[in-house]
């Protein structure tokens, strides 16, 4: 299933809206992030996996592809963690897509699942 969550990325002093698209499909387990992420955003894979597991949610052993659009905007920092985690929960039908349709989600996750300030 495909999920979309709106987030934001800071580029200098400007915030740019980012569509976080999460697709979960069958196949060998893999978690990839595409769309010009920097190293910190790529590391979100580990933070999101640990945060979901440590808060009691099932982390799918499937092929997870996260696209950060638009691809032309550089994404830096850990503020996309929460949007990615919620996208996974929507794609797995744990929470409804409609719950996030009119929100912009920004937040870094700790390994225990807390949202860091």
Residue 47 tokens read as: 């933070």
| pLDDT, tens digit (0-9, with 9 covering 90-100), for 72-100 | 888 988 999 999 999 999 999 999 999 99
The tens digit of pLDDT for each residue in 6-27 reads 999 988 889 999 999 999 999 9
Looking only at Cα atoms, what is the longest distance across the chain?
Answer: 40
Residue-range domain boundaries for the chain: 2-96
2-96 CATH choice from 1.10.3330.10, 1.20.1050.10, 1.10.150.80, 3.30.230.10: 3.30.230.10
Global pTM? 0.95
**Bridge partner residues of 23 (DSSP):** 2, 65
């Amino acid at each position: 299933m495909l999920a979309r969550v709106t987030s934001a990325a800071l580029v200098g002093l400007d915030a740019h809206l980012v569509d976080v698209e999460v697709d979960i499909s069958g196949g060998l387990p893999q978690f990839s992030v595409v769309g010009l992420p920097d190293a910190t955003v790529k590391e979100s894979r580990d933070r999101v996996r640990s945060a979901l597991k440590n808060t009691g949610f099932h982390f799918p052993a499937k092929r997870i592809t996260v696209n950060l659009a638009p691809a032309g905007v550089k994404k830096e920092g850990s503020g996309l963690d929460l949007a990615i985690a919620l996208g996974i929960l929507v794609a797995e039908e744990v929470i409804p897509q409609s719950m996030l349709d009119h929100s912009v989600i920004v937040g870094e996750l700790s390994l225990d699942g807390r949202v860091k300030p």
